[in-house]
Amino acid sequence: MACVKLDGKALAMEIREGLARRVATLKERGVTPGLAVILVGNDPASEIYVRNKGIACEKAGMRSETIRMPEETTQEALEEQIRALNADPGIDGILVQLPLPKHLDERRALNAILPEKDADGFHPMNAGKLLAGEETVIPCTPKGCMRLLASADVPLSGKEAVVVGRSNIVGKPMALLLMQAGCTVTVCHSKTRDLAAHVRRADVVVAAVGKPGIITADMLKPGAAVIDVGINRVDGKVTGDVATEAAEVAGWLTPVPGGVGPMTIAMLLENTVEAAERRA
């Protein structure tokens, strides 16, 4: 069976068109969804991400605000900025671009965001609701991965899933979402012994490590659905965590770039539009 490419770029475009229509309806009711992004310091990769998020917002007809704060920003100043956005009735979603400079406490900053304006779904209250299976804001990257799987009707119920990576923003929420979808989930990480043995059992593999090519073709079960979250720069080129030869074995595979990345931005817009719809 030929490998099906899970085209995140095309799906994200479709989702963003749908969101633009929802934004137009909201505007007729006097509500313009607004997303505020706080960028602290001068990390070049973060600059690009933030710029892309702003462009995507504006294309959907949303209000986008980028607050740039200097590298030496204090914790107090950052939290004060977050509180000002919490109180701004025109802002539905707040996002603190990670990583923050080392002297700042990421957890405290995320906790300062009002849970209902938490566009990334990283607030502990939203994370807790996800754990409890309650309706909540779902972190954008895992939400986008689930949407990619759904778009191709990849069977999940009763299947074996292996998530490689256990971060709060990708691996852990991804594992919860797959479990909710009926998968039997294994989470692998840097202390896992024999990663290949785990991956080989999986019908669904999600690679969220940040190590180029760590998932090789010979680790995969033929026909597996493989979601490559990794973004790595190798010799100036962006590559994922999954080796390119995986396409010869996998049943479904996300490309990098053009897979999970565009879906993450689409889900960020969706989370913000959903917050605005609740406000309206």
- Residues at the interface with ligand NDP (CB under 6 A): 141, 164-167, 169-171, 188-192, 195, 208-211, 229-232, 260-261, 264
What does the block give as tokens for 85?
């956005």
- One of 92, 120, 203, 228 is an active-site residue; which one? 120
How far is the C-alpha of 231 from the C-alpha of 238, rounded, in Å? Answer: 6
Q: What is the Cβ-side half-sphere exposure of residue 207, based on CA atoms within 13 angstroms?
A: 32
Smallest separation, CB 77 to ligand NDP (Å): 25
- Our CB check for ligand NDP shows the closer of 8 and 26 to be 8
Phi, psi of 139 (to 5 degrees): -50, 140
In the beta sheet, which residues pair with residue 68? Answer: 39
* Nearer residue to ligand NDP within complex by CB, 85 or 263: 263
Of the residues 7, 81, 92, 97, only one is catalytic, namely 97
Active site residue 97: yes
Alpha helices in the chain (DSSP H): 8-28, 44-59, 75-87, 106-112, 124-132, 140-151, 171-180, 195-200, 260-279
In the complex with ligand NDP, the residue whose CB is nearer, 113 or 162, is: 162
Which C-beta is closer to ligand NDP: that of 167 or that of 184?
167
Active site residue 5: no
Residue 192 CB, nearest approach to ligand NDP (Å): 5
Neighbours of 88 (CB within 10 A): 14
Q: Kindly state the smallest distance separating residue 9's Cβ from ligand NDP, in Å.
A: 12
- Please list the active-site residues: 53, 97, 120
